A = this chain, B = another copy of it.
Amino acid sequence: MKKYSENGDFLKILEERILKDGQVPEKDVLKVDNFVNQRIDVAFLREVCGEFYNRFKNEKIDKILTIEASGIAIACMAAQYFDCDVVFAKKGEARNMGNDVYTAKVTSFTRNRVYDLSVGRRHISKGDRLLIIDDFLAEGSALSSLCSIAGQAEAEVVGAGILIEKAYMTGGRELREKGLRIESLAMIDRMDEDGIVFRSGN
């Protein structure tokens, strides 16, 4: 398979790729649909996910929990390092699913709407040690809702691995203050029409 990093510096190749292929059509909006969100560079994501393994390899991980659709590819790539299954939360109305699902509401600030997440109860067991994986962290509503679902299942969230964090927004700080371990591979401090500034020393 294609190889992107010469020396395992996964953070560097991710930042370089975001600068090369990411688009900022307006302030604070980053589109990475050319390698993550619609076209998926599988070999690249697989390599970058090695960094999630570097950071969580000392933890026992039973399952990776993510959200459809964009989380699935990243979660599947990460799961190959941890040798575990992926469970993804479905978006949309949790209709006609009765008591068979855990649900939580997510507020999408970019899309200005509220939607339901749902996971079939039988897919998360009590005591499961979960690693949450997602593509973006901004306000933290989706991540918070995944933690809620894990809590409903009496599972344990070992931590969260995020591909790109908008570090100038409040979600990451608030969830870290509540004790959640969050490992974000690219931390963006600022972005606008002039470019993208990454947090140094991440």
Residues of A within 8 A of B (CB): 1-2, 33-35, 38-43, 46, 63, 68-69, 72-73, 75-77, 79-80, 83-88, 90, 119-120, 122-123
Q: How far is the CB of A12 from chain B (nearest CB, A)?
A: 21
Cα–Cα distance between A24 and B120 once the two chains are bound (Å): 17
What is the CB-to-nearest-CB distance from A116 to chain B, in angstroms, rounded to a whole number?
15
Kindly provide the distance from the CB of A32 to the nearest chain B CB, expressed in whole angstroms.
Answer: 12
Closest B residue to A69 by beta carbon equals: B68
Report the minimal beta-carbon distance from A104 to chain B, rounded to whole angstroms.
15
Task: Report B-chain residues with C-beta under 8 Å of the C-beta of A83.
Answer: 1-2, 43
With both beta carbons as reference points, the residue of chain B lying nearest to A66 in the complex is identified as: B40
Given A73-B72, A88-B69: A80 and B42 interface contact (C-beta under 8 Å): yes
User: Is the pair A80, B46 in contact by a Cβ cutoff of 8 Å?
Assistant: yes
Is B79's CB under 8 angstroms from A42's CB? Answer: yes
**Which residues of B sit under 8 angstroms from A90, Cβ to Cβ?**
38, 69
